[in-house]
Amino acid sequence: MPASPLPPRPLAALCALADRLSAAGVEWLLAGSAGRALLGYRARPADLDVEVAAGDISAASRALGAGHRRETGGGRTSLRAHARLAGVAIDLTAAFEVEGAGGRLGDGFALQRRWAEPRAACGRTILVAPVEETAARLMVLGDRAALAHLVAQAADAGAPPIRPGYVSERLAWPTATAAR
Q: Can you give the residue range of the structural domain that contains 146?
A: 8-171
Query: For residue 3, is it within any domain?
Result: no
Query: For residue 151, is it within any domain?
Result: yes
Query: For residue 2, is it within any domain?
Result: no
User: Residue range 38-55: average pLDDT?
Assistant: 93
How many structural domains does the chain have? 1
Query: For residue 116, is it within any domain?
Result: yes
Query: For residue 69, is it within any domain?
Result: yes
Share the mean pLDDT of the chain: 91
CATH number at residue 57: 3.30.460.40
List 172's β-bridge partners, or say none.
Answer: none
Query: For residue 180, is it within any domain?
Result: no
List 82's β-bridge partners, or say none.
Answer: 91
Contact assessment for residue 108 and residue 93, using Cβ atoms and an 8 Å cutoff: no
Query: For residue 179, is it within any domain?
Result: no
Kindly report the number of other CB atoms within 10 A of residue 42's CB atom. 14
Q: What is the pLDDT of residue 153?
A: 82
In this prediction the pTM is 0.92
- Strand ranges in the chain using DSSP code E only, listed in sequence order: 28-31, 47-52, 68-73, 76-85, 88-100, 103-105, 117-121, 124-128
Query: For residue 50, is it within any domain?
Result: yes
pLDDT, tens digit, for every residue of 70-108?
999 999 999 999 999 999 999 999 999 999 998 999 999
